[in-house]
Amino acid sequence: MADILVSAAHPQMDHSRVTRTLMDAAAQLDPARAEVLNLYARYPDYFIDTGAEQQRLAHARLLVWLHPVHWYSMPPLLKL
């Protein structure tokens, strides 16, 4: 498992400029050190594999939540 976990959440990633650019930049990091997850691509039906996600969080030393901050809240899938 990677030391850095980037959880990107944007319901319309293809329309995002900033979040998509930051996610693509994070994906260029060493895969042994950083794992980048697009939550909406991974769980389009909102059925989250809680055990797998908890295991990822337990192994990560740094967690980055990547989502649009101008919404003043997290996207619904990230809240779940």
34: domain CATH number is 3.40.50.360
Average pLDDT score over the chain: 87
What is the pLDDT at residue 42?
93
49 pLDDT exceeds 90?
yes
- CA–CA gap between residue 70 and residue 31 (Å, rounded): 29
Count of domains forming the chain: 1
72 has pLDDT over 80:
no
Mean of the pLDDT values across residues 34-56?
92
Maximum alpha-carbon separation in the chain:
32
Q: In the structure, what pLDDT confidence band is assigned to residue 74 with cuts at 50, 70 and 90?
A: confident
**What contacts 75, CB < 8 A, 6 or more positions away?**
9, 10, 11, 40, 67, 68
Tell me, what's the pLDDT at 52?
92
Domain that holds residue 63: 4-79
Beta strands in the chain (DSSP E): 4-8, 34-38, 62-66
The pTM is what?
0.82
Beta carbons of 7 and 63 less than 8 angstroms apart = yes
